[in-house]
Amino acid sequence: MATGGGNRNGTHKLPNLRSSASFKSKLPPSNVRRSVAAVGGADSVSGRVRVAVRLRPRNTEELVADADFADCVDLQPELKRLKLRKNNWDSDTFEFDEVLTEFASQKRVYEVVAKPVVESVLEGYNGTVMAYGQTGTGKTYTLGRLGDEDTSARGIMVRAMEDILANISPETDSISVSFLQLYMEYIQDLLNPANDNISIVEDQKTGDVSLPGATVWEIRDQQSFMQLLRLGEAHRIAANTKLNTESSRSHALLMVHVKKSVVDRDEFSLDAQNRSIGNLRPPMLRKGKLIVVDLAGSERIHKSGSEGHMLEEAKSINLSLSALGKCINALAENSPHVPVRDSKLTRLLKDSFGGTSRTSLVITIGPSPRHRAETSSTIMFGQRAMKVENMLKIKEEFDYKSLAKRLEMEIDKLMADNERQQKVYENEIERIRLEAQKRVAEAERNYVEALEEEKTKCQMDYMESIKKLEEKWTINQQKHAINAEINNGAGNEEVVELKRRLQDEVCLRKAAEDEIHNLKNQLFRFSKMELAGGNSDGFSFQQVLEEESCQKKKLEEEVRVLRSQLAQISIEANQARGYPDGSNSGNPLLGQDSLAPVNHMRSRDGSNGERASITNLHEQVGLQKILSLLESEDANVRIHAVKVVANLAAEEGNQEKIVEAGGLTSLLMLLRTYEDETIRRIAAGAIANLAMNEANQELIMAQGGICLLAMTATDAEDPQTLRMVAGAIANLCGNDKLQMRLRSEGGIKALLGMVRCRHPDVLSQVARGIANFAKCESRASSQGSRHGRSLLIDDGALPWIVQNANSEASLIRRHVELALCHLAQHEVNAKDMISGGALWELVRISRDCSREDIRALARRTLTSSSTFQSELRRLRIEV
């Protein structure tokens, strides 16, 4: 079964609707039969039988045979309703506790049908999960599917045991399993085929039914349980009929007994200060029983084609199911007599209907109109079962054996702990005493040693100080003696030396004054000579300038002559290539400098005249020669050449020629090589023009164009350059084949990064690229070639889209609105769009958009998405 949900057919409003069973948890006492044994119990809780309906999808035979007919049922899962068609204009409506479409997953079926019952069994109640329906409608698939190939296909039996094992303690709790089948009114053990006639034993006091002869296996893990299921399924009787290739010929019953110990921590405590042994209460032992019943399918002999022994099997199946239906009818009508003993099946299910068990029934139906009578009978069975109410009663008892065992273990543990603690206490006291003695002795020893060291240190310091003072006194005495001798013999010598130095200073001063006088005279003479020679030097300099000017004029004249010669040579070469007339001789495109006039062709008065001039220039000179000028060392020549190529690329007829001549490669080379903003802007514009052609788009991607455009978008700051780059990427976004590669090479990141510019023209191109990308994704999703969430959402584009969905610029707003509508068409994007605030913008677009086609697209998207519809109902918004 595929996961998900939804209606197989559209919902139609019918004129006459039959009232269905109520969904109240309790029905009025007058209309409900209660369990006699459970009435008046202190722990009794009322619980109505819950019924869910599950629709099987059409099989291969029905797809062929019923191709021209609509399904006989129409499901409304959100309203929990089912419509059974009478004819093309009338139908009956029924309500159930759950309505599961053909797309409902096994996990969802388990959670709504069986999980509440399993939780009750773990709490100590009895529980029953049963499947009823026509043969071939999926009862065994719903209950007993093992899921060996696909774990998501696991049935209720496997999932129930997983939950039970996850919620018990292996040390204190236990699980036991029996697996039986009721075949031809004989109860047979599927785990021990030799045991083929098991008797039913009924307790006269409580009325409980048991099977003491059945094999009981203790379960410790899921693997052992799966082995038992495989063993039981191998022994179950099945046959091939016209309605089902593996039709079950017996009713299968899986009985799971759960014993769970419940300990109240407040009551069961071994704290001697707060509790005494007399106040201890034994732990509670809850006993729950889960019965999973896979009924054999009801069948009509003329449809199933049963004969011989299979006919006898069909009669036995129909008789037991008829007896079950009579019991449910009696319980639903509050009849004083319920014919429980008419069949072994009803005796085994005595506690499930009208007893103390929490019961959940899933009825399985098929969509084929050929089996409408069987479908109607199954639906009515479920409707009657919904009127049966059981009185749930918890089953728990005191576990005295467990209490005694635990107390003995606790006493032994306490005695051992007491002895161990006593020994540890004595050892600790002895250790502390020895450690204290050791520390006292060590402290005394350290104190004595410290005193000795301190005494020795003080003595050494005293002796050292005395020695230093004696040395200083001796040195001072020697200095005083020497100074006295010097002062007596050298006083006169110092006076003589001072006089000599004074005389030397006087002589030096006089010599310096003479030197200054001489320098002044020399400076005066030099100044006169400088003034006399200045005019001659200026004249010489003027002559040099005039000579340089003449030389420059001569060089310019030579350049003009060379250019004329080059022009003549080019004209002769063009004529030799095959020009029939000399019309080009008047205005040739000559050499590298001949592209300079191209800049004057751009005029705002008429683009047609400009393109005509460019076309004439292209025809006269040749495309290959123009492309060669893209590699010129002269920046002006490169700029004019790339402008010519950009204008030529604007016409679709020239694009193929430009690409064949290598123009695309040259333009990409300009983006890769040059950092000049003008060249990059015009080159990006030319690439954008070429990217309008689908064939050129693949070539651009193959030559690494998207990486170069992304690098240009990162480095550029000029709005016009960013506009050209965004336009080129936006054109590439419209190609379905390049989606993944465009994203992997950074195209989407680059496109989103250009919104930093905030220029309206740039934002318009970004919005156009996002709209193109979203449209391609939507188309791929509708064709089934793409799955998963949008790459735009993965790259973080959704917040910007939502922010600009109501932009003041009409062009930006229109592109963003289209992008939102295309993203919303894929159901997997719905949750992200709701959390990101896009749902509000879609509602606004469906109401206020100025364009009718976008409004209609938004409304159609909102109404077709189940996720959006659920959120709109929660918010109480109508589209």
The annotated binding site is made up of 133-140
- Taking the C-alpha atoms of residue 676 and residue 639, their distance in angstroms, rounded to an integer, is 9
Helix (H, G, I), strand (E, B) or coil at 183: strand
End-to-end CA separation in angstroms for the chain:
32
Distances (CA, A) of 591 to 45, 114, 584, 615, 663: 102, 88, 15, 18, 19
849 near 855, Cβ under 8 Å? yes
**How remote is the C-alpha of 155 from its chain's centroid?**
28
Cβ partners under 8 Å of residue 653, min gap 6: none
How long, in residues, is the chain? 879
Distances (CA, A) of 548 to 303, 543, 562, 591: 117, 9, 21, 29
Helix (H, G, I), strand (E, B) or coil at 324: helix
Distances (CA, A) of 426 to 421, 422, 430, 438: 9, 6, 6, 19
Residue positions forming the annotated binding site for ATP = 133-140
Q: Looking at residue 276, what DSSP letter applies?
A: -
Q: Which of 583, 614, 609 is nearest to 599 (CA)?
A: 614
- Taking the C-alpha atoms of residue 524 and residue 526, their distance in angstroms, rounded to an integer, is 5
Please state whether beta strands 50-55 and 98-100 pair in parallel, antiparallel, or not at all (unpaired).
parallel
The two tokens of residue 352 are 């499930």
Distances (CA, A) of 367 to 11, 74, 75, 85: 15, 9, 10, 11
221 near 165, Cβ under 8 Å? yes
Q: Return the number of other C-beta atoms located less than 10 Å from residue 526's C-beta.
A: 9
The two tokens of residue 126 are 């009895």
Distances (CA, A) of 215 to 164, 193, 197, 259, 610: 20, 10, 12, 17, 98
Q: Looking at residue 410, what DSSP letter applies?
A: H
51 near 413, Cβ under 8 Å? no
Element housing 256 (H / E): strand 251-262
